[in-house]
Structure 1
Amino acid sequence: MASDRFRPVFHPAGHDDELRTAVQDLRTGRWLSTRDLLARTPDWTLWTQRTQVLATVAAGTDAVQAWLAEEPRSSAAAVMHTRVLVERAVRAHRENHPRTEELWQGAWEACHVAARRAPDDPVPWVCLLALSRLDNDQRMEEHRLPPPGPMLFPGPWALLAEADKRDPYNREAYHRMLQFVYARRADASLSEAVNFVQWASSSAPQGSALHVLPLFVRVERYRKENGHEKALDLHWVTPDATRDAMRALGLWFDHTAVARASLLDLNHLAHALWGALRFIDGARVFEALGPYYATAPWSCRTRDPGDAARVEEVFLRARGRCLSAARDRRDGD
């Protein structure tokens, strides 16, 4: 009966308690906890993850601008200012805002300023990758460079290489590259995306979040094919789909600290294992998620992705099925 009362929590900070405090302060316009948190962030991987979450909140406030005005020599403030400008430009592009070009130009310039201020930081280069999707026609030369391997596409490969040089296999950098693929050519984006994630994950070490990338592409294919409308859905139980889910489990989940893992990655893995009918394996991921969840990819299973109650219902059904299978296994033992 306890599972019937369970209600998942959506929070961008997930398991990162320190980040949750900083997010709450930013929402009220206070930036000191953000500065202090970033000052004690131990590595580029966590730095990238935290600055991304903080920027999504700070984009609706003047908190980071106030921080930069108060501490103009702070490289952390400059990077966060860049994050905020990029977030605003991407939102403007998504909403077809008339100031998109202006915001894009300002964000692009801020990226280069931040790259000079913080030459070892991968985030300015990740931000430039985020902006590359705004260049729909690949007018900028840096967005149509020759690929590093066969079956890949012209794109911002030098930007990815700069991020990689500073933080190898940076999760966000590769996700930004995947978003560029989707924005580049609607007619061939899925095949190009498949080739890209296979290329990216093939060289990634154990514990790298890049092993989860194929699961994101699988969700996008399902969404575009309106998979939820099919009476018999075999999309998730094919040998290829099961292999992708089990590779992500064995090569990423089994070698990563859950407290540092992306909620999106955990949700995509839980969803893929449930879809592949690997319920006991899925239970391990649901247990690691604890009280937290993300609406993606569960929203792809509904006719209305904006129906929060329906999306939560899908998540709870999957969670309940997997945890029940795990309990039955333990009871049988």
Structure 2
Amino acid sequence: MAREGARPAFDPAGHDAALRAALQDLRTGRWMSMRTLLADTTQWWQWTRRTQVLAAAAAGTDVVRAWLAEEPDSVPAAVMRARVAVERALRAHREQHRRTHELWVEAWDASDGAARVAPQDPVPWVCLLALAQIDRDQRWEEHRAAPPDPMLPTGPWGLLAEADRRDPFNREAHHRMLQFLYARASSGRPTEAVGYAHWAAESAPRGSALHVLPLYVRVERYRRGGGQDAALDLHWVAEDAGREAHRALHLWFEHTHMAERSLLDLNHLAHALWGALQFPDAARVFDALGPYYTAVPWAYRTPQPGDPAQATEVFVQARTRCRAARDPGGRP
């Protein structure tokens, strides 16, 4: 447990020590640790998470290209090439870079190629799904498929189905669908995302990270509402907010182990329970985070969401409040 008041750290590897070691090597231009790590990864949820984190670190380097030059027939290297290409395309899209379309096409080709050489792998389909958010107007036919439920909008449902077929209830795949729906809503209210998150959570089994999806949408609604508004504070203590937090705690958190949990999911759950005034339960989630944290969603409860120091301060204050409520009179 992180001691009371200790400043948390952001670490993309979180509790995954093996991933942390591979990241350290990757940042120095070495790829063998990444190769070994991926060869030892046998579960799809872990494969999906590790390839995503590695790609974020590799996107500004030529490490994956060097790996492919040495091992051109490597399937994991082909998947990582797709991951890196998608990361670069999405960054260009966010920055409105003039090469966005070119990088999008390159990423689509790399992802399609990875799907062919790794037919059982959900990640290439997650990659294709991630790229759908760039096609905000749904010009591509595969991005305007009919939904599985009449209450849902058209979208890249076929891509989601392919990922789900290989790894049912894949966490990242469903978050990529959320991002697509956010992009459709642009700066408006993410109404479609609300319906989607509840639909996905209601269909998920116990232990699935999809039970946390409604908490993400609640944060997005708050962010788009402007935040830092006294009236919006009711957003966190409303009956439905407490119910969403309770469901995520009892249907996801209590049925998973530390290694399975995403730091982002833990932070969203701790934030939701704290906001709903369920302090003792929130303290349990803070304990599970240990020394780590993510700036989101705490940053949205600050006057300057771009200042990580302010996000850290809100996190520490919330953790202290929740632990004090659970352990009144106890020592830090």
CA distance in 2, matches of 1:147, 1:33: 41
Structure 2 counterpart of 1:278, one-letter code: Q
Identity of aligned residues (%): 65
Bigger RCO of structures 1 and 2 (CA < 8 A, at least 6 apart): 2
CA contact (8 A) 1:227 1:235 kept: no
> TM-score, length-normalised on structure 2?
0.97
Task: Please state how far the C-alpha of 1:231 moved relative to its aligned partner.
Answer: 6.0
Structure-2 residue corresponding to 1:230: 230
CA contact (8 A) 1:181 1:189 kept: no
The RMSD of aligned alpha carbons is 1.5
In the TM superposition, what whole-angstrom CA distance separates every residue of 1:37-75 from its partner, at most 9, and x where no partner exists? 000112111000000000000001111110011111110
The answer to whether structure 1 residue 109 and structure 2 residue 109 are counterparts is yes
Structure-1 residue corresponding to 2:156: 156
Structure-2 residue corresponding to 1:22: 22
Structure 1 counterpart of 2:40, one-letter code: R
CA contact (8 A) 2:5 2:316 kept: no
Note the 1:126-141 alignment, pairs <5 A: 126-141=126-141
Structure-2 residue corresponding to 1:100: 100
Structure-1 residue corresponding to 2:309: 309
- In structure 2, stretches of 5+ residues that fail to align are none
Structure 2 counterpart of 1:309, one-letter code: A
Note the 1:44-193 alignment, pairs <5 A: 44-186=44-186, 190-193=190-193
Structure 2 counterpart of 1:121, one-letter code: D
CA distance in 2, matches of 1:150, 1:270: 33
CA distance in 1, matches of 2:56, 2:36: 18
Task: Please state how far the C-alpha of 1:226 moved relative to its aligned partner.
Answer: 1.8
CA contact (8 A) 2:18 2:37 kept: yes
CA contact (8 A) 1:245 1:273 kept: yes
CA distance in 2, matches of 1:298, 1:266: 12
CA contact (8 A) 2:189 2:224 kept: no
- The ranges of structure 1 where at least 4 consecutive aligned residues each deviate by more than 6 angstroms after the TM superposition are none
Task: Please state how far the C-alpha of 1:191 moved relative to its aligned partner.
Answer: 1.1
CA distance in 1, matches of 2:37, 2:165: 24
CA contact (8 A) 2:187 2:224 kept: no
CA distance in 1, matches of 2:158, 2:214: 23
Structure-2 residue corresponding to 1:327: 327
CA contact (8 A) 2:144 2:156 kept: yes
- In structure 1, stretches of 5+ residues that fail to align are none
CA distance in 2, matches of 1:250, 1:229: 30
The answer to whether structure 1 residue 291 and structure 2 residue 287 are counterparts is no
Paired positions, count: 330
> TM-score, length-normalised on structure 1?
0.96
Residue 206 and residue 245 in structure 1: after superposition, are their counterparts in 2 closer, same or farther (change >3 A)?
Answer: same
